[in-house]
Chain A
Amino acid sequence: MKPRILPLGDSAMLVQWGNEMDFKVNRRIHALAQLIEASPFSGIVETVPAYAALLVHYDPLIVSFAQVKDFLREKLAQAEAAAIRTPRRIEVPVRYGGEAGMDLEAVAHHLHLTVEEVIRLHSGRTYTVFMMGFTPGFPYMGKLDDALVMPRLATPRTCVRAGTVAIAGAQTGIYPLDSPGGWHLIGWTPLTLFDPRAESPFLFAPGDEVKFVEEKSA
């Protein structure tokens, strides 16, 4: 499937593969982003990978739209052939339920599952960080087991605690900062996802693989 290259204003362009949450497409996006990062091109500022599109920010004082487009076409051809770098795999300890994971029982009830089944299904597979966004360090991960798919809250909460593990649609995520949130809260991890002053400020990067491991409370 060939992506389209479209302008987003005068200083960004979008390489877009469609509107599906698809592992193959997403892997190509990370491969393209990594290839661009590994072959610096003057005027390209940065890229933002998402589910099915890569946004490329550029400086129009340095390069033209046509030059960036040609460069991206060339990299796209290489990305087809390039083997993607083996994803990092990160284990995330989770305490399911409790005060932070306050929706766990309601989720089980809504899905006609037991709490144990929800935990088993959620921690039972490895997820891909499709993209990051919403707040600094928030990973959009998927896909959930079909049995765990449910719509987001009708009314978002005004404050969700940092470290809270949540689900919505076919996705799961972790809130890196205290922030508003419309997802169902099912657990909490003690890991720090974002520390702006640390040498490596982010726990996750787009394209990472993530496994949740249940941590029984003492």
Chain B
Amino acid sequence: MSLEILEVNGLATIQDAGRTGWRKFGVPASGPMDWFAFRAANRLAGNDLNAAALEIGMGGIVLRALRDCVIAVAGVGYSLSVYIWDFPLWSSYYVRGGWTVRLDKLDSGMWAYLAVSGGVQTPPVLGSASTYLRGPFGGFDGRRLQTGDVLKCGAPSRPLTDLAARTLPAEARPAYSDTPTLDVIMGPQDKYFTDESTAAFLAHDYTVSPTSDRMGCRLEGPALTHRGGTELLSEGMTMGAIQVPAGGQPIIMMADCPTTGGYPKIGTVISADLPLLAQCVPGRSKIRFRRTTVAKAQKKYREMMSKLERIVEE
């Protein structure tokens, strides 16, 4: 079971659920930008939720299956064709050995996840298959996928015919949008900002900057004013944390973010809304923040996880 990369136009890497246990040594978690689409693709392909899959962004990819397998693709902003047919995302398909699978980038969205039955097999580095390009380590020799790479795949969990032709219905997917409202848990340093700044942060749109990447999502909008110092002693941080450097424009930490940071954090985007943020298009998407509580955020996260179980046979 294996897949050969015939062509890559964008940034394609191997990611699993992320690298944990090493953050105290400064090793970023990495993992998928859109955890929901990543897990949905794995679920559809009959894999463990954290199995290694391909993350494809900023351009397309063409692959060839070297043996019969089932692939599942989930995400936003791509069209999919398998052999001679065009198919929708958020579904699984039987692919015969020799067939090509093609993902082309559309004008919306950012990331798609291609899971293959049995998962991509790659030697774990620090316990994870996730690629950390700045390391560089993990995934496929620590680098982005290139033409000619051959990915090994594991054994499928069930007969391929049982795994193919399944779909996650639209109502079970996140409400992806070019103008999402993201729930935020305020703090721990929200008091570092003037009341007017906090009010502006919660009342105005922020545009996602073209300089955003897997490390951070930079925003452009009303500048926030620090009451006192613009820096604090470095402390741990996590994906979703909204750092505000001296310039006042917020930066939301994403999958490859450093483990620690020294700018005040006005709040953190909740786990359930990170997929909406991840799929925002730099230079175009406008986001708005809304205050929420830890209890509500955790409930929303659990509800989203349960939506992964709503896969139906076609």
Contacts and interface: CB of A to CB of B under 8 A. Distances in A.
Contacts of B235: 14, 16, 50-53, 55
Interface in B119-139: 125-126, 134-135, 137-138
Interface stretch (A2-10, A76-84, A86-94): A2-10
Nearest to A9: B268
B236 A55 contact: yes
Interface stretch (B16-24, B82-90, B94-102, B155-163): B16-24
Contacts of B126: 196, 201
Interface string A39-51: 0000001111111
B125 to A, nearest CB: 5
B305 interface: yes
Given A8-B241, A9-B269, A19 B232 contact: yes
Given A19-B232, A201-B126, A202-B25, A10 B260 contact: no
A36 B225 CA distance: 37
Given A9-B271, A55-B238, A21 B24 contact: no
Interface stretch (B168-176, B201-209, B291-299): B291-299
Contacts of A48: 23-24, 236, 259-260
A101 interface: no
Given A6-B187, A140-B234, A50 B270 contact: no
A12 B265 CA distance: 13
B6 interface: no
Contact of B188 (A6, A10, A21, A49): A6
A132 interface: yes
A116 to B, nearest CB: 32
A49 B24 contact: yes
* Max count, chain B CB within 10 A of own CB: residue among A33, A64, A196, A197: A196
Nearest to B28: A136
A54 interface: yes
A48 B301 CA distance: 23
Contact of A8 (B188, B234, B295): B188
Contacts of A131: 234, 260
B302 A11 contact: no
A61 interface: yes
A188 to B, nearest CB: 20
Given A20-B233, A55-B238, A10 B137 contact: no
B258 interface: yes
Contacts of A136: 22, 25-28, 135
B70 to A, nearest CB: 27
A135 interface: yes
Given A16-B188, A65-B298, A134 B233 contact: no
Contacts of A196: 125-126, 135, 137-138
A60 B295 CA distance: 10
Contacts of A60: 271, 297-298, 301-302
A179 B138 CA distance: 18
Given A7-B188, A19-B233, A60-B301, A134 B260 contact: yes
Given A8-B265, A9-B241, A133-B260, A57 B20 contact: yes
Interface of B: 20-28, 125-126, 134-135, 137-138, 185, 187-188, 232-238, 240-241, 258-260, 265, 268-271, 294-295, 297-298, 301-302, 305
Interface of A: 6-12, 14, 16, 19-21, 33, 45-55, 57, 60-61, 64-65, 131-138, 140, 177, 179, 194, 196-197, 201-202, 205-206
15 contacts: A7-B185, A9-B240, A9-B268, A10-B270, A11-B271, A12-B236, A14-B236, A16-B235, A45-B20, A46-B20, A55-B238, A61-B302, A65-B298, A137-B25, A197-B125
Given A133-B259, A196-B137, 7 more contacts: A8-B236, A9-B238, A12-B238, A19-B233, A48-B24, A131-B234, A196-B135
